[in-house]
């Protein structure tokens, strides 16, 4: 793929407003917030969020064990030594920049993801226990009380393991299928309220213009995309890549865009996508195992990922990417070695969000 072809295909199609050719910055994001009308009361009432707060991860547990052996060799090593190995990673305590510009006090890292969706009225939180701690340390600091959230425990597959975020979304479908829009996040990135708000306002404008889309994904421009976006010659997403989908790279132009862990779905298309994927790919595979067998996914995992939903919608021309996010928003804390970078990122995110919230309307 030559540089000219990549450049020509790296401008996403976005019918409702002109998109920047260069990387997004804070002034651009503020100008878009002023240009895009807020959601109507009716539209706001029909948005729900799904936050996935059940995972820990192999790298995370390994770094905790290392910190127990040598706490002073790791950032926040003393905190890590006391952190339960079986607790969700999203409960790990980090400085509190939501309530203090200087980061005094501590909150769970997932509080930043919940802060990004705090204006949404209804929340589904996918968990594996620890509900009391999640309420107190993550949801509470973001201003989300028990009356606005419901906990959901994902059932494992036949192999005894949970089967991916797409599978979790399918299992809790009864909780979100009557909404209009569904916002998803993974409760472990430096998510920004401004990105969520811009994406929801933009989706509302697609709806108002009668332009049918199933998913809108905020993306950031970066030199080394962690989750690359592929665009066709028309600027439409041809596919989305993830390391768990290593065998399913699209035959289209790669770009410098990466998603930042936030997706906005129209609920009817999310529902249809999951049901069609299940009809096609759930059952007994050639390995004799019952579960998901989606081509291109890690065959040993038997998972359905949200990336599979995104690719399904992209194939139908129903996906759009919105390059208005900043690279700092994709700064996960999946190992203690990433602690310092995560703390810097959430501090910068909260500085921007606070400035926007303080600005006169």
Provide the pLDDT confidence category of residue 298 given band limits of 50, 70 and 90: confident
Which pLDDT does position 3 carry in this prediction?
34
Checking if the pLDDT of 7 tops 80, the result is no
149: three-class secondary structure by DSSP: strand
Model confidence over 77-116: pLDDT tens digits?
999 999 999 999 999 999 999 999 999 999 999 999 999 9
What pLDDT score does 5 carry? Answer: 34
pLDDT tens string 264-285: 999 999 999 999 999 999 999 8
Mean pLDDT of 166-189: 96
pLDDT (0 to 100) of residue 322: 97
Q: Quick one: which of 258, 224, 223 has its CA closest to 242? A: 258
Given this model, what pLDDT does residue 250 score? 63
pLDDT tens digit sequence for 35-69 = 999 999 999 999 999 999 987 678 899 999 999 99
Report the pLDDT value the prediction gives residue 294, as an integer from 0 to 100: 94
pLDDT score at 133: 97
Please give the pLDDT value at position 301.
Answer: 87
Does residue 143 carry a pLDDT above 60? Answer: yes
Q: Which helix (H) or strand (E) holds 113?
A: helix 110-116
CATH superfamily of 38-358: Spore Coat Polysaccharide Biosynthesis Protein SpsA; Chain A (3.90.550.10)
**In the predicted model, what is the mean pLDDT of residues 181-186?**
97
**pLDDT at res. 198:** 98
Q: Show me where the domains of the chain are located.
A: 38-358
- Answer whether residue 6 shows pLDDT above 60: no
For the chain, give the mean pLDDT: 92
- 93's tokens: 């305590």
Say which DSSP state 25 is in. -
Q: Render pLDDT for 204-257 as a digit per residue (tens, 0 to 9).
A: 999 999 999 999 999 999 988 888 899 999 999 998 877 666 555 666 777 999
In angstroms, the CA 351 to CA 361 distance is: 18
Q: Cα separations (Å) of 346 from 27, 175, 192, 215, 328? A: 19, 30, 9, 26, 8
Query: Among positive and negative, which fits the CA dihedral 298, 304, 309, 315?
Result: positive
pTM for the structure as a whole:
0.94
Q: What DSSP designation does 137 have?
A: I
**What's the pLDDT score for residue 243?**
65
User: What pLDDT score was predicted for residue 43?
Assistant: 97
| Residue pair 255/9 in contact by the 8 Å Cβ criterion | yes
CA atoms of 49 and 67, how far apart (whole Å):
34
User: CA-CA distances (angstroms) from residue 33 to 39, 120, 233, 274?
Assistant: 12, 17, 29, 32
């Amino acid at each position: 793929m030559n540089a000219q072809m990549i450049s020509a295909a790296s401008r996403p199609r976005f019918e409702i407003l002109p998109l920047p050719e260069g990387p997004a910055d804070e002034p651009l994001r503020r100008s878009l917030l002023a240009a895009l009308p807020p959601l109507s009361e009716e539209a706001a009432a029909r948005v729900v969020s799904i936050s996935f707060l059940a995972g820990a991860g192999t790298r995370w547990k390994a770094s905790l064990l290392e910190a127990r052996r040598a706490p002073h060799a790791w950032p926040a090593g003393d905190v890590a030594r006391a952190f339960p190995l079986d607790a969700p990673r999203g409960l790990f305590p980090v400085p509190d920049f939501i309530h203090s510009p200087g980061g005094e006090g501590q909150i769970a890292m997932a509080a930043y993801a919940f802060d990004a969706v705090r204006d949404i009225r209804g929340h589904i939180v996918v968990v594996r226990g620890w509900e009391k701690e999640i309420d107190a340390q993550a949801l509470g600091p973001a201003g989300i009380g028990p009356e606005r959230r419901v906990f959901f425990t994902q059932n494992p597959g036949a192999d005894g393991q949970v089967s991916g975020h797409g599978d979790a979304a399918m299992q809790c479908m009864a909780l979100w299928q009557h909404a209009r829009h569904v916002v998803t996040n993974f409760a472990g990135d430096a998510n920004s309220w401004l990105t969520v708000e811009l994406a929801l306002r933009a989706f509302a404008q697609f709806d108002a213009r009668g332009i049918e889309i199933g998913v809108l994904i905020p993306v950031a421009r970066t030199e080394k995309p962690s989750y690359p976006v592929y665009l066709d010659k028309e600027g439409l997403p041809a596919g989305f890549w993830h390391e768990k989908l290593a065998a399913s790279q699209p035959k289209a132009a790669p770009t410098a865009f990466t998603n930042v862990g936030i997706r906005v779905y129209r609920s009817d298309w999310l529902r249809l996508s999951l049901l069609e994927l299940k009809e096609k790919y759930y059952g007994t595979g050639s390995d004799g195992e019952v579960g998901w067998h989606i081509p291109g996914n890690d065959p040993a995992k038997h998972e359905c990922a949200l990336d599979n939903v995104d690719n399904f919608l992209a194939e139908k021309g129903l996906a759009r990417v919105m390059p208005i996010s900043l690279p700092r928003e994709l700064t996960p804390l999946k190992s203690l070695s990433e602690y310092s970078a995560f703390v810097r990122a959430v501090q910068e995110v909260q500085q921007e969000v606070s400035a926007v919230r303080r600005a006169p309307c």
